[in-house]
Amino acid sequence: MGILRTSAFGLSLIAVLGLSACGGSRGSVGSGNIFGGGSNEQQGGGLGHTPEVEEPRETIWDLFKNVDDPNTTVEVNRYIWNAALDVLNFLPVQAADPFSGIIVTGYGRPPGGGASYKATVYVRDPALDARSLSVALYTRGGPASAEAVRKVEDAILTRARQLRIRDGKL
């Protein structure tokens, strides 16, 4: 029984030492792995030393993360985006970001309408769905009525469906 415990302790000690040799913390002064490597002082650290750029680590947990570059992945429905620009073409566009899906307009009057409106449109999903669209509509006196917002959302979604059908007939 004593030999079994001693060998189990020895194997666990070897495993811990082996794992700690693989790790090692980078970036903090005076730290390193148990074999003495990885210290900034030994690598010429001191005044005027520029820190090295840390390389991204790859682990099994990276499979469960979204590691795509947000500048290259577009998560906005293009039909809703273009439909919003078409429907609200009477409003001057102040800011538009197709990567985040936000369109901010200034005040403008709809054709044949009396009140001036300002809109903020948020397209937040790649699906051609009503849940993908949020519209905030303002008048000079404050928020527009819920009926006006619903009409604008319906017009944008209807135009988006028309654009999608038109692309399907190519």
Residue 70 lies in a domain: no
Distance CA 84, CA 50 (A): 48
Distance CA 133, CA 156 (A): 9
Residue 13 lies in a domain: yes
In terms of domains, do 42 and 96 share one?
Answer: no
Distance CA 53, CA 49 (A): 12
| pTM of the complete model | 0.57
Q: What is the pLDDT of residue 14?
A: 75
In terms of domains, do 93 and 57 share one?
Answer: no
Q: What is the pLDDT of residue 168?
A: 84
Q: What DSSP string describes 40-75?
A: TTTTT-STTPPPPPPPPP--GGGGGS--S-TTT---
In terms of domains, do 147 and 91 share one?
Answer: yes
CATH of the domain at 128: 3.30.530
In terms of domains, do 18 and 82 share one?
Answer: no
Which residues form the domain of 43? 2-64
Report pLDDT digits (tens) over 7-39. Answer: 777 677 677 656 665 655 554 454 555 555 554
Distance CA 115, CA 109 (A): 6
**Radius of gyration over alpha carbons of the chain, in Å?**
29
Q: How does residue 41 score in pLDDT terms, banded at 50, 70 and 90?
A: very low
In terms of domains, do 95 and 21 share one?
Answer: no
Spatial contact of 37 and 47, defined as CB atoms under 8 Å apart: no
Report pLDDT digits (tens) over 85-125. Answer: 999 999 999 999 988 899 999 999 988 878 899 999 999 88
In terms of domains, do 56 and 83 share one?
Answer: no
Report pLDDT digits (tens) over 63-75. Answer: 667 666 655 555 7
Residue 73 lies in a domain: no
How many domains would you assign to the chain? 2
In terms of domains, do 93 and 164 share one?
Answer: yes
Q: How far is CA 150 from the centre of its chain?
A: 28
